[in-house]
Amino acid sequence: MQRGRKVPVQVVFQDENCSSSCPSDTNIPCNNRSSAFVTAPKRALGDITNVAKSEKSNVGKKVSFKVGQQEKGDYTAVEKQAAESSKSSGSSQNKNTTQTCSQFSQFVSKLDQDFLKKSSRVAKKILEQSKDNLKVTIDSFADLALHDIDSSDRHDPQQVVAYVNRIIANHRRIERKFMPDPQYMMEQPDINERMRAILIDWLVDVHLKFKLLPETLYLTVNLIDRFLSLQHITRQKLQLVGVTAMLIASKYEEIYPPEVRDFEYITDKAYNKEEILSMEAIMLNILKFDLTIASSLNFLTRFLKAADADKQSMLFANYLLELCLSHYKMIRYEPSRMAASAVYLTGKLVGRFEWSDKTRTHSNYAATDLKTCSEEMLSILHSQNDPNLHLTAVKRKYSLQKFGEVSKISVDCLETL
């Protein structure tokens, strides 16, 4: 990495004594298993192989037999003896056996009837539920087919047109699973919302300096919030959590992620390699290695496509979403709602599109569902005009030419939605 103009390297919240302990590795010794030879048990009846009737050997003697014809000999005598012995005992047991079999047959028959009755009720209920679910599924897919936005991409394998609606539906299903606790800051004894905002504003600068993908930034913020929802942290270690989250996100999203020494440099050696790697192990274990999230960026791309947004509108919607990353109050909204609100607000401010039926179908949000989130997003946007604003990383980033200079667009004309 070229060492040009430095990003503000070390985020200092307050000098206090830091007492942090990292869990040590635990070596679990393996149990030694002793091997033993298993000997075949001795035969209690001795040798039970076929024994010749006479001492004379029949080696070389030609054996003649006919297929299907039993050889005469002791077999008939054995059969007679077996038949006679079974007559006496068999006659007395036949009645009991027949009676027992009859009772068992009736018992099984009754069980079968009860099972069939219960099974039919359960099957009928499942069938009714399946019909309802199938009707909902058919209706939703019929709406999506009516407002098709993927016909032009059918020959592009990277657009996965055959699965894109299922992918978005699955993202909607799991998005709440990977949301942080919206009240976690109340449980943190040593950090507050302002410190979080300072950290994320600095990470936006680092993200731009390292030229990372947008997905990396969104995953970084998600990892930070989810980790802080589960773990208390001191303010001296908050920046360590931030750079470690970006390291993990970079390994997940980037082809060539930054190295640990790059994060050492960007923090001005505030943390060494061992501390960063130790925090990486702690974070991954606490988060149970759940790194595949449904971010608002995933939904934003889809919703902008449904809205037929132009390039400027796309950049402005991304600007709105990144502004919200540093605001703690916005983490209570689902990623899909955040993305839909950004598209809705963009259409009102700079876009030449309305919240149409097609956009509503693909986002599954009506305009009334986005009112609260959009108003808070608009309030954050207006706060960027404050001359005393200190956290300006996102605004400076989107004032660059490669980001369309969308942060310079005047939006004072719209005060309420």
Residue 56, pLDDT > 60, answer no
Regarding predicted confidence, which is higher, 319 or 112?
Answer: 319
Q: What integer pLDDT is reported at residue 285 of this predicted model?
A: 97
Q: How sure is the predictor about 321, in pLDDT bands with cuts at 50, 70 and 90?
A: very high
| 149: nearest Cα among 366, 360, 374, 368 | 360
| 341: nearest Cα among 363, 358, 325 | 363
Contact residues for 197 (Cβ-Cβ < 8 A; gap 6+) = 326, 327, 328, 391
Q: How sure is the predictor about 236, in pLDDT bands with cuts at 50, 70 and 90?
A: very high
| 263: nearest Cα among 195, 225, 216, 207 | 207
Task: Tell me the mean pLDDT in the region 141-153.
Answer: 66
Q: What is the pLDDT of residues 222-233, one digit of tens each?
A: 999 999 999 999
Residue 42, pLDDT > 50, answer no
Burial of 390 (0-12, 13-18, 19+ CB in 10 A): exposed
Regarding predicted confidence, which is higher, 315 or 126?
Answer: 315
What is the phi-psi region of residue 54: left when phi exceeds 0, alpha when psi lies from -120 to 50, beta otherwise? beta
Residue 252, pLDDT > 60, answer yes
CB 331 within 8 A of CB 225: yes
Residue 345, pLDDT > 90, answer yes
Q: What integer pLDDT is reported at residue 71 of this predicted model?
A: 45
Q: What integer pLDDT is reported at residue 121 of this predicted model?
A: 61
Q: What integer pLDDT is reported at residue 150 of this predicted model?
A: 80
Q: How sure is the predictor about 22, in pLDDT bands with cuts at 50, 70 and 90?
A: very low
Residues of the chain with pLDDT > 90, as a percent, come to: 52
Q: What integer pLDDT is reported at residue 412 of this predicted model?
A: 62
Task: Tell me the mean pLDDT in the region 29-45.
Answer: 41
Tokens encoding 67: 């297929």
Please give the model's pTM, rounded to 2 decimal places. 0.67
Regarding predicted confidence, which is higher, 41 or 342?
Answer: 342
Task: Tell me the mean pLDDT in the region 344-366.
Answer: 89
Q: How sure is the predictor about 408, in pLDDT bands with cuts at 50, 70 and 90?
A: very high
Residue 66, pLDDT > 50, answer no
Task: Tell me the mean pLDDT in the region 400-406.
Answer: 94
Residue 397, pLDDT > 60, answer yes
Q: What integer pLDDT is reported at residue 417 of this predicted model?
A: 62
Task: Tell me the mean pLDDT in the region 144-156.
Answer: 73
CB 237 within 8 A of CB 250: no
Residue-range domains of the chain with CATH = 182-287 (1.10.472.10), 296-408 (1.10.472.10)
Burial of 323 (0-12, 13-18, 19+ CB in 10 A): buried
Task: Tell me the mean pLDDT in the region 278-302.
Answer: 95
Task: Tell me the mean pLDDT in the region 264-280.
Answer: 95
Task: Tell me the mean pLDDT in the region 17-31.
Answer: 45
Residue 49, pLDDT > 70, answer no
Q: What integer pLDDT is reported at residue 105 of this predicted model?
A: 65
* Mean pLDDT score of the chain: 78
Q: What integer pLDDT is reported at residue 148 of this predicted model?
A: 78
Regarding predicted confidence, which is higher, 2 or 9?
Answer: 9
Task: Tell me the mean pLDDT in the region 152-173.
Answer: 86
- Which of 8-17, 274-283, 285-294, 399-408 is predicted least confidently? 8-17
Q: What is the pLDDT of residues 76-134, one digit of tens each?
A: 454 555 555 555 555 555 555 556 666 666 665 665 566 556 555 655 565 555 555 44
Residue 14, pLDDT > 90, answer no
> Within a 10 A sphere around the Cβ of 249, how many other Cβ atoms?
26
The three-state DSSP-derived secondary structure of the chain is CCCCCCCCCCCCCCCCCCCCCCCCCCCCCCCCCCCCCCCCCCCCCCCCCCCCCCCCCCCCCCCCCCCCCCCCCHHHHHHHHHHHHHHHHHHHHHHHHHHHHHHHHHHHHHHHHHHHHHHHHHHHHHHHHHHHHHHHHHHHHHHHHHCCCCHHHCCCHHHCCCCHHHHHHHHHHHHHHHCCCCCHHHHCCCCCHHHHHHHHHHHHHHHHHCCCCHHHHHHHHHHHHHHHHHCCCCHHHHHHHHHHHHHHHHHHHCCCCCCHHHHHHHCCCCCCHHHHHHHHHHHHHHCCCCCCCCCHHHHHHHHHHHCCCCHHHHHHHHHHHHHHHCCHHHHHCCHHHHHHHHHHHHHHHCCCCCCCHHHHHHHCCCHHHHHHHHHHHHHHHHHCCCCCCCCCHHHHHCCCHHHCCHHHCCCCCCCCC
